[in-house]
Amino acid sequence: MTLLMVTDECTPPGYVKLQLVQGNAPVLVNNYQNEIFILDSKRRSVLSNNTTFTKLPIAYEYHGPALYATGIPALYTSCWPEKTSRCLSSRRRQQNWPTRQMIDVIQKTGTLLVPVAHKLSPEQHLEWRLAFSFGEKLLTWKFNSTQYKCYVMLKFIKNTFINVDATENVLTSYHCKTCMFYVIEKTSVSLWHPYNLLLCIDLCLRQLLSWIDCNNFLNYFIPDENMFLGRNLGPVQRRISGILIDLLMQKGTYIKTIAYESIGENVVRVLGNHLASRSLEEEIPDQEKLDIAHELLLWGSSSDVGSGNLKLAAFYLCQSNLNRMEEMPNHVDAKLTHNVWEIGINYLEESMLSMILHEKLPITKIVQHHVALPVCYSSLDIYSVPKVLNFEMFCSTGCESGCDRLITHWIPTAAVTARLYLYFLQYQCFHMRGRIIPRSVALNNMI
């Protein structure tokens, strides 16, 4: 007899039931019913997760330390669920991490089946959680030194600033590890350089903040599984969000206050020295600046319907990368439909508001799909602004601040509506390519 992993419409992502079969035929077990095997809603004989493993009437492979702190045992299977395997293999990865070879090895490591049901499941006694402990270990073994230090620092940050109350263990080391996997997958390997360690930590904190704000923490191997679902975070969610925002605003100075254990002393000391060298404004190679800027702009390109992509397009324009630049304004232009609130252009109509509320999306998703924010720049962004706009965008004539006299210094910020900036970028691109008719159309749109 064999245990077959099965699911149905009531089984949450990341969980399975274990049906007893012989060959290809299901088995009804009367002798063990109500003790080891129980009939589920589909009249299948499935293994109860309350079962004592020594009572199983079949051969199985036992794996002890599946749930590390609790010592709950787990069953091992060399197979991966088909949907999970397909998702891991086919997911689009811009940076080719993990590599195809790594994925093939991971899928050969097998899966653990832990006798724990989803918190909201109506079948608490029948579900088994999928655990990919071996695959996770293989991925962490592939971390370079900067990635490993970043992972260690995330755990220190979690223990020092977030999980200060033992009763509120909202973020775990598993969450930190999952965050690392997603951030590494989305960023270039060139970013994970010792000099960029603080930047890498900030990117991970931003990812954690995004998940906390959405109350949606994605399992790396099963993206459909929200690991926060069923947890009533409430005020704790707002507290952690505030802590993460505060840490990001400190720009790394919080490193000095971290309560580290002896194993992390060297990591914190390295970060302290790194922070000091930054405070001395040590010169960064120009190409490295460009790489960092590009990574950050890519990261923020999906922040809303327009501004993120338009800032990235302007960056490509400054680098004379017209091939990359031209496609982005056209992409934004196609998304600026009647279902988008263009701040600075139109009002939020009642019909649009009703449609947005009907979708019941978290605020970050609403902004991503239905809001076109103005494109904002600070004076620090001057090198990512097209040169023809440098003076116009940052040198005030006095009207911005309500003064009568001429102000000769650079103003701190400038903003332009997404649609107007879109037409300007199109005009610049067509002008540089010598395409007269499209350039005239873009100019007429601006006027």
**How far is the C-alpha of 61 from the C-alpha of 75, rounded, in Å?**
6
For residue 144, pLDDT over 60 is answered with yes
For residue 212, pLDDT over 50 is answered with yes
Question: What rounded mean pLDDT belongs to the chain?
Answer: 76
**How far is the C-alpha of 244 from the C-alpha of 202, rounded, in Å?**
10
Nearest to 158 by CA among 173, 148, 143, 180: 173
Phi-psi map region of 251: left, alpha, beta (phi>0 left; psi -120 to 50 alpha): left
pLDDT digit string, tens, across residues 217-240: 889 998 888 888 766 667 788 888
pLDDT of residue 289: 66
pLDDT of residue 226: 85
Domain annotation for the chain: domains and CATH numbers: 1-83+110-131 (no CATH), 143-298 (1.10.1410.40), 301-446 (no CATH)
Amino acid at position 82, single letter: E
Range with the poorest average pLDDT among 158-172, 313-327, 346-360: 346-360
pLDDT of residue 402: 47
Give percent above pLDDT 70 in the chain.
Answer: 74
pLDDT digit string, tens, across residues 378-425: 766 766 777 777 655 555 444 444 444 444 445 567 778 888 888 888
Region 249-257: mean pLDDT is 78
Strand ranges for 78-142 from DSSP E: 111-114, 128-131
pLDDT digit string, tens, across residues 87-131: 787 777 777 889 888 888 888 888 888 888 888 887 888 888 888
**Residues whose CB is less than 8 angstroms from the CB of residue 135 and which lie 6 or more positions away in sequence, other chains included:** 106, 107, 109, 221
C-beta of residue 110 within 8 angstroms of C-beta of residue 243: no
pLDDT of residue 390: 65
Tell me the pTM. Answer: 0.59
pLDDT of residue 393: 59
Region 134-149: mean pLDDT is 87
pLDDT digit string, tens, across residues 156-201: 888 888 887 655 677 888 899 999 999 999 998 888 987 788 889 9
pLDDT of residue 122: 79
Region 21-40: mean pLDDT is 70
Give percent above pLDDT 90 in the chain.
Answer: 6
For residue 331, pLDDT over 50 is answered with yes
Question: Can you name the residues that pair with 128 across neighbouring β-strands?
Answer: 16
**Residues whose CB is less than 8 angstroms from the CB of residue 124 and which lie 6 or more positions away in sequence, other chains included:** 117
C-beta of residue 390 within 8 angstroms of C-beta of residue 416: no
pLDDT of residue 70: 40
Region 435-445: mean pLDDT is 85
pLDDT of residue 380: 66
pLDDT of residue 184: 94
For 310-340, the DSSP string reads HHHHHHHHHTT-HHHHHHHHHHHHHH--TTS
For residue 10, pLDDT over 50 is answered with yes
Confidence grade of residue 261 (pLDDT, cut at 50, 70, 90) = very low
As to burial, measured by CB atoms within 10 angstroms (0-12 exposed, 13-18 middle, 19+ buried), residue 235 is exposed
For residue 278, pLDDT over 90 is answered with no
pLDDT of residue 181: 95
Query: Which range, 24-33, 64-73, 281-290, 424-433, is most confident?
Result: 424-433
Nearest to 240 by CA among 175, 128, 158: 158
- Report the residue count for the chain: 447
pLDDT of residue 207: 93
Confidence grade of residue 286 (pLDDT, cut at 50, 70, 90) = low
Range with the poorest average pLDDT among 153-157, 266-270, 283-287, 296-300: 266-270
Region 139-147: mean pLDDT is 87
Residue 149 CA: distances (Å) to CA of 144, 193, 207, 266: 9, 11, 17, 10
pLDDT of residue 433: 86
